Structure 1
């Protein structure tokens, strides 16, 4: 399908007079269009859930999540990767964002980079891609050559390939093991896929990465337990997490956190079981970090 025929490239009949709207009408129009995004993402819920399960199995074996895209899609992948580190306490090597054209493309477009399948292959080879890894290829149009090249290389080495597009029957989906397609339709500003399509991709990435982290035991009940207390604000947050999970005083939570060597899951298990820090740590290792399993 030609680019001009993609739904993301069509003119939106609801916004033909966008340039004549008041600021309030413009805001209401954009908001009205955005309300359709969540419904589009909901249509892809089965594929998203399938991706979470498949990625989780590889991640548990030491595999990485590698995001791959160009332009807005690439930037969204980088954003999801970097935010997993402070949120869930993982090492930066476990979630990697690749954008066509390299780091400088985060701020300024690199001409021709997204049109090169070979560039994606080279970028993944530099990471020593393995069969335990997952490559999430992102392209609103569903046809970016850089993403197709990356997904093809993932298949060659046996890595899991997941595609995220905002058109039906996407080209990148044909090169992936799991194809996620949230059809968001014509944009408010024709072809500006940083809008509805970008929002849909962000929502999908939130679901995937959150789901994978939950299945790795990074969440207890609904609180982030693997937050890294690297500054006073995060130490305070860690104490509040322990307080919320266990129901003890802030002072007692701070004392437990110190005894647990700033490890929140260890502190929670200590509080819930009466075990020493070393025993709590051993239990967490035996149950792959999942506090709920220890407490059953």
Structure 2
């Protein structure tokens, strides 16, 4: 295959122009292949939006609401180009005149699913991009998609937003990658009777995601948090605790849930952090001491 005919470009890890966000993740791709506009400035203000492949009418309404306001605010959307939420995110971003990036689990010259052929073209025409770590002509295979999800999370500067996800949804893998990468995870609550919202509701119940009902919740959170610089003398677990407390005060048990740690380990470390003046306790919950 002639790459030039497809206008496919390649960036290798370490090259000028290789996305900074991807250099910071564990197991970064050795190379990425892309078509379209993949300049760093497009990623400066970006959000990954993921969810179920069986998107409901409720999910579509939520996507319309969030994407329209993200586009108005100049936010680039990132998703995985698959059925359901992914497709709706890309489609609505294009319709509202925004820029969207699709991350493939196959070569960028293969449109999969094939039903998205027109959408593929529209993404490029509207200033977006399609990217993959897999070389051109690489076939879509199931094992590639969970691996692909680390790039979906890694590219986004604002974090990952989960809209409708079942208990075994691949979107939860993306959310887990985001947490490991130190990215924020947001989730929109769904009906308690909906199977495609059971995963998102569980994320919220276990405090592994921040509950949001409007894009301003995400944009405002970034603004507020951006003023709170994480001290550079914290241990790994202290850093996790600090990040968990950035959004709201939490009890010891809640912190342990948020960082997937033990209560004993958290109790020991919050005591040390309180003595050092980084956090304070009131009414059973720990608060950040912001400088």
* Larger RCO (alpha carbons 8 Å, 6+ apart): 1
Higher share of residues assigned helix: 1
Q: TM class, shorter-chain normalised? A: 0.3 to 0.5
Q: What is the TM-score normalised by the length of structure 2?
A: 0.40
Determine which structure has the larger strand proportion and give its number: 2
